[in-house]
Amino acid sequence: MYADPCFKPGIWPWQVGNSPGPIGMRQPLSPSGFGTGGSLPWYFESPAQIRLGEYQREPQFWQTKRGGVVSIEWDAKAAGNSAAFELLLPVNIRTGFLDGGRNSNMLSTSAIFIATDQGLGLTPLFSAHWTAVQIDGRLFTIADDGTMTTIAGTKRNTGILPFDWADSTTPEFCSSTIHGTITTDPTRTFANFGGTGDICWDPRNPNVLYAANTICHCILKIDFTVQTVGGIAHGPNNPLCSRYAGYYKGVHGDGLGGYHDGPAIETSPGNGAQFNGPYSIVTQKRTDVPNHPQGTITSLTIITA
């Protein structure tokens, strides 16, 4: 995106509304257009949520545990810029992130984006170009116009005034609800989506999304298929969520991961598959499996820390 030259010595004033911002323009550009020196005129803007310093931040109202109401400016950087995934979790799970259009939504500093169709040749369930997950367990789509929509997991509870995220004693998930239904099957259930680090769509079924929960050492399955299970109707607006592989919070439920091959789900402690902080999940086309035509997808490849 090109505009009039943006570089100017001195401090830039805060930009208001949707006016172009000076982000990245506080240093002269190199002859190639980057770094220092040169004068290539360009600027960029965020497709969703304001970038720190790009526009004035609009405050939100939050409630305190004592019943008071405070007005606090919220931005992702102020809410945590630690490089450690575990250290970012507490402030994120007590925030409650808003859906909405561009400049009206909220986004964590720890989020992973993938293409919704992933080039699989399948018809994607959602029309938004990007699917994403952030550390608090919010799974959402983002459209080209910046609109964010939660499709599963942690979601802002818009029926209450959210609690002060800056208060470290604010309880976990007190400003959020769960979008979707977590199975009650004791062999596949889990408590919440907090600590999810990555996602991928199933290349065999565009209605199924997998999520690697880094903190809880397991793989989750989010199924958007229209079906009725236990008298509950599921589908795109109420996905069925379950544990696909691994033990929730480790084999003993004490938060310690492990390394062990075995069945994806196993009720006997220690006999099933174990993961230690799975930080990413991808699909793989297997062509080396006997009796399967080339390109047949027979498994998921899971990368763990």
Domain ranges of the chain: 1-45, 59-303
99, 103, 160, 205 from 62: Cα distances, Å:
16, 18, 10, 41
Output the pTM of the full model.
0.77
* % of the chain with per-residue pLDDT over 90: 37
Q: Distance of alpha carbon 277 from its chain centroid, rounded?
A: 16
Average pLDDT over residues 106-119: 82
Average pLDDT over residues 209-225: 95
- Show the beta-strand stretches assigned E in the chain: 59-63, 69-73, 111-115, 130-134, 138-142, 148-156, 176-179, 181-182, 196-201, 208-213, 218-223, 227-229, 232-234, 240-245, 280-284, 299-303
Question: What mean pLDDT value characterizes the chain?
Answer: 77
Q: In the chain, what is the greatest distance between 2 CA atoms, to the nearest angstrom?
A: 68
Q: Quote the pLDDT of residue 48.
A: 64
82, 196, 277 from 304: Cα distances, Å:
21, 13, 6
Query: Rounded CA gap, 269 and 101, in Å?
Result: 45
Give 147-176 pLDDT, tens digit per residue: 999 999 999 999 999 998 888 899 999 999
Q: Quote the pLDDT of residue 223.
A: 97
Among 77-86, 103-112, 207-216, the range with the most confident prediction by mean pLDDT is 207-216
Q: Which burial class, exposed, middle or buried, applies to 191 when counting CB atoms under 10 A from its CB (0-12, 13-18, 19+)?
A: exposed
Q: Give the pLDDT band of residue 7 (cuts 50, 70, 90).
A: very low
Q: Give the pLDDT band of residue 301 (cuts 50, 70, 90).
A: low
- Could you give the count of Cα atoms lying within 13 Å of 147 in the half-sphere of its Cβ? 8
Query: Rounded CA gap, 216 and 277, in Å?
Result: 7
Lowest mean pLDDT, pick from 22-31, 78-87, 202-211, 246-255: 22-31
4, 104, 108, 194 from 138: Cα distances, Å:
38, 17, 10, 8
Q: What is the residue whose two structure tokens read 């029309």?
A: 127
Give 262-296 pLDDT, tens digit per residue: 888 988 887 899 999 998 898 765 556 555 554 44
Give 186-210 pLDDT, tens digit per residue: 999 999 999 999 999 988 788 999 9
Q: Is the pLDDT of residue 250 over 50?
A: yes
Q: How many residues does the chain have?
A: 305
Q: Quote the pLDDT of residue 86.
A: 78
Give 11-59 pLDDT, tens digit per residue: 333 333 333 444 444 444 444 444 443 344 444 456 666 554 555 555 6
Gyration radius of the chain's alpha carbons: 22
